[in-house]
């Protein structure tokens, strides 16, 4: 995902598909959610811009030749140009600890988390956000399991919509879609997600290729 505002072009995650294509995006910074290959392997040949990630993630990416490493901490906001990012720990993987980002510019905020089973501090993460961009692995089938007293895997869209309803988030988009969605008829799946959203009072949709959104304060997401 690319966040654009003013001179900032911030890429959130850089998966293996981007290994030889970073220049197409020309980011001014990259922010990583976790170290799984589909989120970070695009850094295997390095990056020309600063890259922000948690200590846990850098420990797993230490072999990557990234010269401008920025270490971030949970719940400590940092700024890139005029955009603020705050990392919230989420349950997803024991081997590759993950975060979601609350992204703020002025009075406008959205929350981005491509992979998760649950959000540890959900109210603090979602309170007052204009948009939730979440995990599209499945629609209603849970892929969450428990291991060592932690939840791992992927929460279904239906559960994430319930979180949005409980926290007063009016709009949600689901990305990083799993095979259940990718292999299905896009119109059927889209209608199903919109219906689930309507049942929870949330304007919900599945992201499609080329989707670009502009929020208040001029912040663009693509």
Q: What is the pLDDT of residues 175-218, one digit of tens each?
A: 999 998 999 999 999 999 999 999 999 999 999 888 999 999 88
Provide mean pLDDT across the span 166-173. Answer: 98
Contacts of 141 (CB under 8 A, 6+ apart): 156, 180
Q: What is the pLDDT of residue 41?
A: 98
Residues 6+ apart with CB under 8 A from 42: 14, 15, 16, 17, 18, 19, 21, 22
Please state, in angstroms and rounded to a whole number, the distance separating the CA atoms of residues 111 and 77.
13
Q: What b/e readout covers 109-147, taking b as 16+ CB neighbours within 10 angstroms?
A: bbbbbbbbbbbeebeebbeebbbbbbbbbbbeeeebeee
What is the rounded average pLDDT of the residues 115-141?
Answer: 98
How many Å is the maximal CA-CA distance in the chain?
48
**CA 198 centroid distance within chain:** 23
Give the predicted TM-score (pTM) of the model: 0.97
Backbone conformation region of residue 82, classed left if phi is above 0, alpha if psi is from -120 to 50, else beta: alpha
Q: Provide mean pLDDT across the span 6-10.
A: 95
Contact 32, 95 (CB under 8 A): no
pLDDT at 170 over 90: yes
Question: Domain boundaries in the chain?
Answer: 2-221
More confident residue, 217 or 123: 123
Express as a percent the part of the chain with pLDDT over 90: 95
- The pLDDT tens digits for 51-97 are 999 999 999 999 999 999 999 999 999 999 999 999 999 999 999 99
The alpha carbon dihedral of 197, 201, 153, 215 has a sign of: positive
Question: In the predicted model, is pLDDT for residue 148 greater than 90?
Answer: no
pLDDT given at position 217: 83
Instruction: Determine the Cα–Cα distance for residues 89 and 81; give it in Å rounded to an integer.
Output: 23
Tell me the average pLDDT of the chain: 96
Question: CATH 3.40.50.920: does it fit domain 2-221?
Answer: no
């Amino acid at each position: 995902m690319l966040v654009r505002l003013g001179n900032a072009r911030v890429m959130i995650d850089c998966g293996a598909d981007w290994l030889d294509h970073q220049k197409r995006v020309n980011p001014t910074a990259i922010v990583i959610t976790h170290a799984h290959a589909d989120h970070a392997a695009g850094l295997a040949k390095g990056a020309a811009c600063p890259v922000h990630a948690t200590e846990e993630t850098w420990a797993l990416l230490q072999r990557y030749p990234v010269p401008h490493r920025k270490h971030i901490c949970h719940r400590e906001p940092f700024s890139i140009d005029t955009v603020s990012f705050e990392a919230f720990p989420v349950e997803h993987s024991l081997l590759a600890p993950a975060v979601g980002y609350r992204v703020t510019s002025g009075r406008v905020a959205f929350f981005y988390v491509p992979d998760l089973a649950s959000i540890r501090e959900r109210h603090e993460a979602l309170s007052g956000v204009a948009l939730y961009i979440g995990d599209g692995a499945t629609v209603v089938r849970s892929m969450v399991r428990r291991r060592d007293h932690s939840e791992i895997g992927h929460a279904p869209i239906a559960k994430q919509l319930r979180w949005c309803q409980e926290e007063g988030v009016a709009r949600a988009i689901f990305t990083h879609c799993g095979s259940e969605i990718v292999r299905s008829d896009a119109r059927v799946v889209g209608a199903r997600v919109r219906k689930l959203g309507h049942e929870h009072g949330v304007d919900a949709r599945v992201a499609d290729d080329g989707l670009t959104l502009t929020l208040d304060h001029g912040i663009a997401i693509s």
